[in-house]
Amino acid sequence: MPFVLAAVLIAPRSWRNGIIAVASLVFYASAAGADTWLLLTTMVVNFLAGPWLEPDQWDRNRPFRRQLLFGVIAFDLTVLVIWKYAGFATEQLAALARMFGGDFPVTHLLLPIGISFYTFHHISYVVDVYRGERLAARNPVSFVTYIAMFPQLIAGPIVRYREIADQLPQQRSHRLDDIAAGFPRFALGMCKKAIIADTLAPFVTACFNTPDDEMTFAIAWMGAIAYTLQLYFDFSGYSDMAIGLGRMLGFRLPENFARPYSSVTITEFWRRWHMSLSRWFRDYVYIPLGGNRHGAAKTYRNLCIVFVLTGFWHGANWTFLVWGMFHGALLIIERGFHLEDAPVRRGARIARRALTMLLVMIGWIYFRADDLPSALNMVGHMFLPDFNGLTDITLSALTNQRLVVMLLALAILFLPAQPVTGPLLESSRSTPATVLRVSVMTAGLAYAAILIASGTFSPFLYNQF
């Protein structure tokens, strides 16, 4: 990162995309190894298809463009399905074959890092070009910069092509201003990840690895709360780092979080959580299916489709499907009772926030658990009080430091919906923002660096998707 920033700062402006493109491919190859060919192949196919997908003045070639669009999307999705879901599918077929005394070979493919994210970027590119919302990229360096930009390549935010196409021409001039604005955002993300998420990780693992017969009321609740905090600070921390680093390189990447745990409905939660994913599914799945324009039944059908896909997009496991269907069902209930945008009285707001938070935590258990029986067992213990407390393993994992960090992190549950810390830190010149900015870049960043240097390797949670 320091080398790339220095190169972008010192080199001529026309070199920027080339520096970022080469650095991104080197970065990806260092982690993905031989799987880099898959990224390169999909980039070549989508880049070559781009100019042919553009509508002409009279759109006389629309049937051909439509067929090409479907073909390219089918290619992108086939690559994703084979490498991400072949193992899961063959495992299910093997289990079915064993029921009838047969045998079926199980396929084991190593999941290429970031494949879910760069597949969605490719689909966004070809669809936006097909719709005529942006011109196709003629410069392969600019295209590689969009697809493989290393701040967001591994875990987002998911950048729709129309959000960044106008930024790809190298016209920026205020390089130091971008670095001054982006570095505090990057530092904030590192503090979230290293100080909070990584500190809570061992306790979360201990809770979720508790055998089913040793699970207790206390472990279930403590594990659910700790994971709720870990996942938010880990993923929002990554997003802050990506947005901040992107800004330092001269790009404005989309926001991904906006205080999701302050939501009073599940509908509002999805407007605030992983917003780039929600926008992607809205623009490229929900609206093309008809959105909410054709009556309640088709609206509910479209929501079900979107959240089944959202669940399976996160991973090849029944737990992710249940998590997606759980949220889809909650959204349908809210829409059916007209709760999604109904005004909330001041006195009822606390209760609505608490209920939404409880539902989100229950969902996160399915998201984190290894399998459905473990998730069901943990959820069941959340509603079956006992007096057994923590086991020796979970108690030893809950050190004084982790307990203090968890209690301090719980403040996120009580903060108001606005302002959102990231954008405030990046752009505001108010006194509170300045104090927070200086604190994050000095004490916070120094402490995070010490924890990173003294700790073990801790990947971002969304790297696995």
314 is catalytic: yes
Using CA atoms, how far apart are residues 14 and 17, in angstroms rounded to an integer?
Answer: 7
Instruction: Kindly calculate the radius of gyration of the chain based on its CA atoms and give it in whole angstroms.
Output: 23
Using CA atoms, how far apart are residues 40 and 30, in angstroms rounded to an integer?
Answer: 14
Rounded to 10°, the helix 2-10/16-32 angle is: 160
Half-sphere exposure of 125 (CA within 13 A, CB side): 31
Residue pair 25/125 in contact by the 8 Å Cβ criterion: no
Residue pair 226/204 in contact by the 8 Å Cβ criterion: yes
Residue pair 40/24 in contact by the 8 Å Cβ criterion: no
Using CA atoms, how far apart are residues 220 and 225, in angstroms rounded to an integer?
Answer: 9
Residue labelled with tokens 């880049």 = 47
3-state secondary structure of 329: helix
Sorted by sequence, the CB contacts under 8 Å of residue 336 that are 6+ apart come out as 296, 300
Q: What are phi and psi of 22, to 5 degrees?
A: -65, -45
The neighbour count for residue 377, using CB atoms within 10 Å, is 18
Using CA atoms, how far apart are residues 303 and 292, in angstroms rounded to an integer?
Answer: 9
Residue type, 141: V
In the set 121, 122, 274, 314, the catalytic residue is: 314
Using CA atoms, how far apart are residues 218 and 207, in angstroms rounded to an integer?
Answer: 10
Q: Which residues are catalytic?
A: 314
